Amino acid sequence: MTIPATEWMSEIDDEPHLLEAYQGSLPRWCTGCGDNAILAAVQRLCRDEGLTPEKTVFVSGIGCSSRFPHYMRTYGFHGIHGRALPVAEGIKMARPDLHVFVNTGDGDCCSIGAAHWIHAIRYNMNMTVMLHDNHIYGLTKKQVSPTSPRGLRSNTTPRGAYLEPLNPLTVTLGVTNVSFVAQAVDWIPELLYDIISAAFHHKGLSFVRIIQRCPEYLPNLLDPWVQDPMRTLLLTHENGIQVSPGLAKVYKNQVRHDPSDLNKAREVASAEDPIPVGLLYWNPAVPCYDVIRQSPQLRTPDLIRAGLDSELDKFTIWPQDEPKRGQARPRARPS
């Protein structure tokens, strides 16, 4: 605020938000779907942080998880398959004042959107990315995704999936400029909330892979992990996630992991059983592309219009420039 007094005056009207204030339309996810847990955690985060709905935007691609923006009473963009991240980057670039969240699935992010995913990590723009990883294409009724386990029979792999699954954590941790990588599971909501909260507070791209159940198409896939707390490895650290005494009683398999250690993070990420849960890597010093490229120029309507015109002119064919016989086709008129 330019005038210090505005700060306290803008808070005069602050009233505590209720979780319901962030609730959009009724979720259409299947009963028992892990997406519900993520939605509840995110709505809780919005309430606890007092985010104003008009300053918050959820961007998604296509898939079960990508229905997320519909269920948030904030701004949202339910976009193009695999393109949640570039859309979110555009939003962040144009409106750095907005809180940008991205909800993407294992198919959306790791398959069709893989190129955007890698570059988004490298761009490290300030946003919270949640990868809802249920290891299957659920919206289109069971086809393998890049993270499906080998041998999984599906509509596209009736004889079972041929390849070992892709590990989104090791991929992310291998990209230049990675700054925040965490893993959560939908069946430990307390940690899910803590991890998403840590991701939200990180300045840069925070990547949270959330392993979630699909009760419809992979009903028993994760049962061994859900039912045996020893098969979950909690990563604890004073700079990472701290486990409450109540939770520690149930989840006794814990290890102290320093999130500033990238090599160790890569090692932890490679281990899939027990499932590591917590903050794997955190480096707040990585520069953000949205900060580096912030334009000092004021976005006046005239400037925006001129920019749009010059872009559109590149594709406009001017009728008066129609070529005469034997001449080359007219080129786009320079702006």
Q: What is the spatial distance between Cα 83 and Cα 136, in angstroms, rounded to a whole number?
A: 19
| Cβ 327 to other proteins shortest distance, Å | 22
Residue 291 sits in the site that holds other proteins (CB under 8 A)? no
Which one, of 232, 237, 241, lies nearest residue 271 by Cα?
Answer: 232
Q: Which of 115, 141, 190, 332 binds other proteins (CB under 8 A)?
A: 190
Quick one: 115 or 291, whose CB is closer to other proteins?
291
300 binds other proteins (CB under 8 A): yes
Provide CB contacts within 8 A for 306, sequence distance 6+. none
Among the candidate windows 67-75, 117-125, 276-284, 291-299, which touches other proteins by CB under 8 A?
291-299
- The residue within the footprint of other proteins, chosen from 125, 182, 188, 268 (CB under 8 A), is 188
Task: Confirm or reject binding of residue 255 to other proteins (CB under 8 A).
Answer: no
Does position 36 interact with other proteins (CB under 8 A)? The reply is yes
Q: 311: which residues sit within 8 A by CB, 6+ positions away?
A: none
Binding flag, residue 73, other proteins (CB under 8 A): no
The answer for residues whose C-beta is within 8 angstroms of residue 87's C-beta and 6 or more apart is 59, 77, 79, 80
Return the residue of 106, 108, 186, 290 that touches other proteins, per CB under 8 A: 186
Is the Cβ of residue 216 or residue 267 nearer to other proteins in the bound state? 216
Q: Helices in the chain by DSSP H: which ranges?
A: 4-11, 35-49, 84-94, 106-107, 114-123, 168-173, 189-201, 223-227, 245-250, 262-270, 289-292, 301-313
Whose CA is closest to 136, among 80, 187, 64, 85? 64
Sign of the torsion angle spanned by Cα atoms 201, 207, 210, 211: negative
Of 159, 162, 164, 246, the residue at the interface with other proteins (CB under 8 A) is 246
Q: Indicate which single residue of 141, 299, 331, 333 sits in contact with other proteins (rule: CB under 8 A).
A: 299
Pick from 251, 91, 269, 243: nearest CA to 168: 269
Q: How far is the CB of 10 from other proteins (least distance, A)?
A: 5
Write down the least CB distance from residue 312 to other proteins, Å: 11
**Which range, of 66-74, 159-167, 188-196, 272-280, touches other proteins by CB under 8 A?**
188-196
Q: CA distances (Å), 90 to each of 23, 101, 260, in order?
A: 25, 13, 29
User: Looking at 13-21, 70-78, 174-182, 264-272, which segment touches other proteins (CB under 8 A)?
Assistant: 13-21
The alpha carbons of the chain give a radius of gyration, in whole angstroms, of 22
Report the number of secondary-structure helices (H) and strands (E) in the chain: 12, 9
Report the interface residues with other proteins, using CB under 8 A: 1-6, 9-10, 12-13, 18-19, 31-34, 36-37, 39-40, 43-44, 54, 186-190, 213, 215, 226-227, 246-247, 249-250, 296, 298-301
